[in-house]
A = this chain, B = another copy of it.
Amino acid sequence: MLVQPKPLAEQVEQVLRRRLREGVYSAGSRIPSESELAAEFGVSRATVRTVLAKLAAHGLLLRRQGDGTYVNARVQQANAHWGSLWDFNSLIENNGYTPTIQEVAREVRPATEEEALALAIAPGEGLFSIHRLFLADAQPVILAHNVFPLSLFRVPVEQIDGSLHIRRLLQRYAAREVAFTITTVHATHLPEKAASWLCRQPEEVMLSLQVVFYSKDDEPLTLGHSFFDDRLLRLRLVQAW
């Protein structure tokens, strides 16, 4: 049975996600019906339905009217779901490696015009800039550069832990929640400096991701630019209707 410190739907979702992850509901099999789950958790059918709808929208479940709800075996193998286009840690994990974040450079400097435009601040305003390397089993696979408006932070930037992922970093030091992101994907040649950090040849072909994170107040929080080694990591996206 569930108690009420957190929303019931959230608790149900966590339980179901765990069962999927741990194979309690095995790949391709049918899971219990809505009524059965509602009875088991002691919640209404509507509450169960919102959870199942969400998991189905993410492709984890396949629902067939008049039949039942099934575990989507294919998507369990896929490695990047909705969240992961910018969440490099889980992306690396989902590819079967152990992720590490390594800070390679940080500085405070004025914003370029382009950065100021994207972040909705004045050109020349202070920026916190950080370069980080993501390792998959100790092998460099992603180089990520992020810039934040300096005014966002409530602590001196020296205190910022560069090994946190973006969402937690923003939570902890800026007290902001990410509401949505916009990512642009490009294919480019690898710049020389980035190549040396990634231990790759310059001018190799790489995926380049440019991401802007926004708060629910439509405020730009950070600008990210990363180079992505798509030979080691597969960028695989699932979409469901």
Contacts and interface: CB of A to CB of B under 8 A. Distances in A.
Contact of A238 (B182, B230, B239, B240): B182
B187 A188 contact: yes
Contacts of A109: none
Contacts of A185: 185, 207, 230, 235-237
Nearest to A78: B182
Interface residues of A, number: 45
Nearest to A71: B218
A136 to B, nearest CB: 17
A75 interface: yes
Q: Quick one: copies of this chain in the complex?
A: 2
Interface stretch (A56-64, A138-146, A193-201): A56-64
Nearest to A57: B57
B188 A28 contact: no
Contacts of A86: 239
A59 B180 contact: yes
A128 interface: no
Most buried by B among A182, A187, A188, A241: A187
A188 B186 CA distance: 11
Interface string A133-159: 000000000000000000000000000
Interface string A40-52: 0000000000000
A90 interface: no
A78 B78 CA distance: 26
A63 B238 CA distance: 25
A187 B184 contact: no
